[in-house]
Amino acid sequence: MKELFAPNTSKSAFYILSEYHIYALVGVFLFLALVLWYSKVCNDTKKLNRLRVGLASFMILVEISWHVWALAVGVWHVNHALPLHLCSVGAILSIYMLLKRRYSIFEVLYFWGIAGAVQAILTPDLRGYNFPHFHYFWYFTSHGMVVLAVFWMLIIEQVRPTWNSLRKTVLVTILYALVVYPINLVTGGNYMLLMQAPVVPTLADFLDVWPGYLFWLPVVALVVATICYLPFAIIDASRRYKNKEIIV
């Protein structure tokens, strides 16, 4: 039990697509599929509302638990533990979005969640911790819940992003980066990956070295966000084509 919450990193290193990574991917997928399936077939509005609030409450406990653990074992530090990473902000926004069902939050969180949280699950940076450590379970639960919140809005609330949502997300992300950058300089942190690429393989590995890295990072982010919107663009184009055929 002590090893589960120990401040020391795990003896065995975590590798992408390793046995324990596959377990985490399957676990996240099954949990999301089960919750969304039940929510889709459930015809009781009161039960759905209780589930929605329950998921938000669970997310609050998940996010608080990490800070409690980090403070308790002495690994909390201002250069990495502030809730300034996009996934951390995404988790906070997910809680608010689920509680209030705010479309304005969803517009941004769709892109941050799909482009950010999904990539974080596929290419996790566990900071040296591995199964069965608490950080391992927290990491995949936290990021998985952000993805679940996004799909809840898509499937259960039946909303979707628009081109305006993409433009809004780009503006919000740029403004947020301008706020976070000086915080990185003061704390020595790497929030939003503005100072250097993460240690695990990601798309950022193909970027220039810093400071040229700062120019290419938003370019890659825009490309990824556009790809995230592509399914909706294809659906819209298909509908316009069918409508045109009917009119002709």
Note the pLDDT of residue 30. Answer: 97
Note the pLDDT of residue 224. Answer: 84
Note the pLDDT of residue 125. Answer: 87
Is residue 66 pLDDT above 70, yes or no? yes
The mean pLDDT of the chain is 89
Helix spans in the chain (H): 19-41, 45-73, 86-100, 103-111, 118-122, 134-151, 163-187, 212-247
pLDDT in tens, 187-235: 999 998 888 776 665 555 555 555 666 677 777 778 888 888 999 999 8
Note the pLDDT of residue 116. Answer: 86
**How far is the C-alpha of 42 from the C-alpha of 40, rounded, in Å?**
6
Q: How far is CA 169 from CA 98, 161, 203, 222, in A?
A: 19, 10, 19, 10
Q: pTM for the complete prediction?
A: 0.90
pLDDT band of 171, cuts 50, 70, 90: very high
More confident residue, 101 or 10: 101
DSSP secondary structure code for residue 125 in this structure? -
Rounded mean pLDDT, 102-123: 92
Rounded mean pLDDT, 64-92: 95
Note the pLDDT of residue 201. Answer: 58
Is residue 158 pLDDT above 90, yes or no? yes
Is residue 72 pLDDT above 70, yes or no? yes
**How far is the C-alpha of 155 from the C-alpha of 234, rounded, in Å?**
18
Helix spans in 132-211 (H): 134-151, 163-187
The angle at the Cα of 161, spanning 158 to 167, to the nearest 5 degrees, equals: 165
Report domain extents, the chain. 3-247
Rounded mean pLDDT, 88-104: 95
Q: How many CB atoms lie within 10 A of CB 69?
A: 17
* Cα first-last separation, the chain: 70
Percent of the chain with pLDDT over 90: 65
Note the pLDDT of residue 25. Answer: 97
Note the pLDDT of residue 34. Answer: 97
pLDDT in tens, 25-63: 999 999 999 999 999 999 899 999 999 999 999 999 999
Is residue 6 pLDDT above 60, yes or no? yes
More confident residue, 242 or 139: 139
Which tokens is 156 given? 């259960």
Which tokens is 23 given? 């377990």
pLDDT band of 76, cuts 50, 70, 90: very high
Is residue 86 pLDDT above 60, yes or no? yes
Q: Which of 145, 153, 51, 146 is nearest to 107 (CA)?
A: 153
Which tokens is 119 given? 């990539």
Note the pLDDT of residue 24. Answer: 97
Cβ atoms of 107 and 172 closer than 8 Å: no
Where b means 16+ CB within 10 Å and e means fewer, 83-121 reads ebbbbbbbbebbbebbeebeeebbbbbbbbbbbbbbbbb
Which tokens is 134 given? 């608490």
